[in-house]
Structure 1
Amino acid sequence: MYSRLNSPFEFNELTKKEQGQLLEWCGNLEKTKTINQNVDSYSIKHLFEKSENGFYIPNGAIKGALISAGFKWSGDEDSVNYKFNVSQRSINKFYK
């Protein structure tokens, strides 16, 4: 079920410091020409939360951060999870 916590506008609800940390983390992800069908916003959210300087964020905050960082996305606007043009190689770095 879609809730406001899944809205990309949740990124704007973070403090400026938190926004900066999240955008900096997103800068570690590489863009591809095509949408990565193997990972979605919810998976990426958890990667961020488990990272060294990560903290809890709602699913919508990672959507908003990735969009702000220039990533393309697919899915219905009301979708709980979006898929982005994030390189699988850059995602896999966080699993090591």
Structure 2
Amino acid sequence: MGLQMASKMKISSLEVYGDSMLMINQLLTHYEVRKDDLIPYNQMATQLLENFDFVMLEHVLRKDNQIVDALANLAATLALTKDEAVNLPVCHR
């Protein structure tokens, strides 16, 4: 979803941080995608990455990615129409 949005926004340079070392290495073609049900997702992501002039894929530890992961999960659960908006304050404790 994020790659599609960045592509539609005509972003030319992209930094992607992920907490799955396996997925990052699969997208970098260091590892092969072996699960048949994940191959289409990898192919789609690979095709979307080709739309950018520069892409950096980097692994981050899950413990360093907890807030970002929570926000991504929250965003994925929000079902808004194109005319709706939501104001979501983000705070640190």
Pair member with larger Rg? 2
Q: TM (normalized to structure 2)?
A: 0.25
Q: TM (normalized to structure 1)?
A: 0.25
Q: Which structure has more strand as a fraction of its residues? A: 2
Task: With a CA cutoff of 8 Å and minimum separation of 6, indicate the structure with the bigger relative contact order.
Answer: 1
